[in-house]
């Protein structure tokens, strides 16, 4: 058996993440922590500027080394100038710059496992591996599929992703449906695909929280249905509010959402059209405290639109689906294969085809709420991040 100290000497782990808000990327924050706990050195390249976006949360921040990649003034100027035309050329330039920056700042003298989480990150891992001969892994944040591509630059990016992805040691997706879509699109062998659901670290916790009731003075005889997420079409933000008039009278809606001041003001004005209780929670909780929000709900929503395949098949990439499950809160989600498997077969919630069915789903949950809660407690361990990401780490160690 390999000791933690020996494991730490096998290789270092490097993540390349082309994203500005590293503090909200639960699966990757959890991954950093698990690699660190296993005895490895972890380096992260991202666009997250802690002076602007705030500190990266969690104990893992004390353990990994973070490179903030910022773009030269010329690229930022080009982005402003070309924004009205879609900014396609600038998008490609930023991707290439990110990959080159990461290449030059990756230590070539050490042995690594290089992990890209998006096409720019995958390109960065590929560039570094050409010199170091280190293996790389594609741990996909959002699926980028040919059927959704409309612009020439995106077709070029897809060509690069497909070509480079074939050389990856493993490709990691959040569920079997997403894995199958990407494997077909990128012509990947099934044995190279691994699945790690976007669940939190830790065990199920059915202890109730009073966070939302105290925040809004919601009486105990009211049930709380909780929406969490940004204000966006793919989150069906307005559709959640529109559905409220047919809900049972004892259920109130809490919108824990974020967006620009204009977006929030517009959403609140829209909500005034409806003669029901709607509460807006726009104060973001620290990553390590978010569980108290979920544990204060009675019913949760994990619903997505079908504007593109990435959101239509959000499935087990939905962090809130598992935040609710970990909190033993029954959830209402989409009628897609992975969601049906996650909630119907486990008894953790209800799947629906249209938002007009939310009222019936709420009623069904309220009729047997305690049973749904117990099912969440029993089912959560099969999706837990600790278990599934542990399998990924073991597979990488065995391959190397």
Ranges of each domain in the chain? 4-196+385-399, 211-383
174 Ramachandran zone, left/alpha/beta (phi>0; psi -120 to 50): alpha
Asked if 323 contacts 292 with a C-beta cutoff of 8 angstroms, the reply is no
Provide the angle, in degrees to the nearest 10, between the axes of the packed helices 88-105 and 152-165. 30
| CA-wise closest residue to 182 among 257, 119, 242, 126 | 119
Q: What is the CATH number of domain 4-196+385-399?
A: 3.40.50.2000
Taking CB atoms within 8 Å and a gap of at least 24, the contacts of 37-42 are 38/4, 38/7, 38/8, 38/393, 39/4, 39/5, 39/6, 39/7, 39/8, 40/7, 40/8, 40/10, 40/11, 40/12, 40/13, 41/8, 41/12, 41/13, 41/65, 42/12, 42/13, 42/14, 42/15
Whole-angstrom distance, CA of residue 375 vs CA of residue 387: 19
Whole-angstrom distance, CA of residue 96 vs CA of residue 91: 9
130 Ramachandran zone, left/alpha/beta (phi>0; psi -120 to 50): alpha
Token pair in block for residue 323: 């935040």
pTM of the entire predicted model:
0.91
Class of domain 211-383: alpha beta
356 Ramachandran zone, left/alpha/beta (phi>0; psi -120 to 50): alpha
- Is there a shared CATH topology between the 4-196+385-399 domain and the 211-383 domain? yes
Q: How high is the pLDDT of residue 6? A: 38
Per-residue pLDDT of the chain (400 residues; tens, 9 = 90+): 233 333 445 799 999 999 998 988 999 999 999 999 999 999 999 999 888 777 776 555 568 999 999 999 888 888 777 766 556 788 889 999 999 999 999 998 889 999 999 999 999 999 999 999 999 999 999 999 999 998 899 999 999 999 999 999 999 999 999 999 999 999 999 999 999 999 999 999 999 999 999 999 999 999 999 999 999 999 999 999 999 999 999 999 999 999 999 999 999 999 999 999 999 999 888 777 899 999 999 999 999 999 999 999 999 999 999 999 999 999 999 999 999 999 988 999 999 999 999 999 999 999 999 999 999 999 999 999 999 999 999 999 999 8
Asked if 389 contacts 205 with a C-beta cutoff of 8 angstroms, the reply is no
Whole-angstrom distance, CA of residue 157 vs CA of residue 179: 19
Which stretches of 106-207 are DSSP H helices? 119-132, 152-165, 176-185
């Amino acid at each position: 058996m390999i000791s933690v100290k020996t494991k730490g000497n096998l290789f270092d782990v490097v993540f390349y993440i082309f994203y500005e808000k590293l503090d909200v990327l639960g699966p990757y924050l959890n991954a950093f922590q698990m690699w660190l706990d296993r005895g490895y050195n972890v380096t992260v390249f991202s666009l997250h500027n802690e002076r602007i976006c705030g500190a990266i949360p969690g104990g893992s921040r004390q353990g990994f080394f973070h490179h903030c990649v910022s773009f030269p003034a010329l690229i930022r100027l080009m982005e402003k100038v070309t924004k009205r035309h879609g900014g396609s050329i600038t998008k490609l330039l930023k991707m290439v710059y990110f990959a080159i920056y990461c290449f030059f700042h990756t230590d070539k003298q050490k042995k690594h496992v290089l992990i890209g989480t998006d096409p720019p990150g995958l390109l960065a891992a590929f560039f570094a591996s050409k010199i170091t001969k280190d293996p790389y892994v594609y741990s996909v944040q959002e699926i980028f599929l040919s059927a959704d591509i409309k612009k020439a630059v995106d077709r070029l990016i897809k060509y690069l992703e497909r070509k480079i992805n074939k050389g990856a040691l493993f490709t990691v997706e959040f569920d079997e449906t997403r894995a199958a879509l990407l494997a077909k699109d990128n012509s990947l062998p099934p044995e190279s695909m691994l699945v790690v659901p976007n669940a939190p670290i830790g065990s199920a916790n059915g202890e109730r929280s009073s966070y939302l009731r105290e925040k809004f003075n919601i009486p105990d005889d009211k049930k709380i249905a909780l929406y969490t997420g940004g204000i966006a079409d793919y989150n069906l933000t307005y559709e959640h509010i529109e559905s409220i008039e047919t809900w049972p009278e004892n259920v109130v809606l809490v919108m824990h959402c974020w967006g620009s001041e204009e977006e929030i003001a517009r959403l609140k004005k829209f909500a005034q059209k409806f003669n029901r209780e709607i509460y807006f929670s726009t104060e973001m909780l620290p990553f390590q405290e978010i569980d108290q929000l979920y544990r204060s709900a009675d019913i949760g929503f994990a619903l997505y639109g079908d504007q593109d395949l990435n959101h239509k098949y959000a499935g087990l990439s939905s962090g809130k689906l598992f935040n609710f499950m970990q909190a033993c809160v029954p959830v209402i989600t989409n009628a897609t294969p992975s969601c049906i498997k996650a909630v119907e077969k486990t008894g953790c919630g209800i799947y629906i085809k249209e938002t007009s069915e939310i009222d019936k789903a709420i009623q069904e949950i309220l009729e047997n709420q305690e049973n749904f809660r117990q099912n969440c407690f029993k089912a959560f361990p099969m999706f837990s991040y600790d278990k599934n990401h542990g399998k990924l780490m073991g597979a990488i160690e065995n391959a190397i």
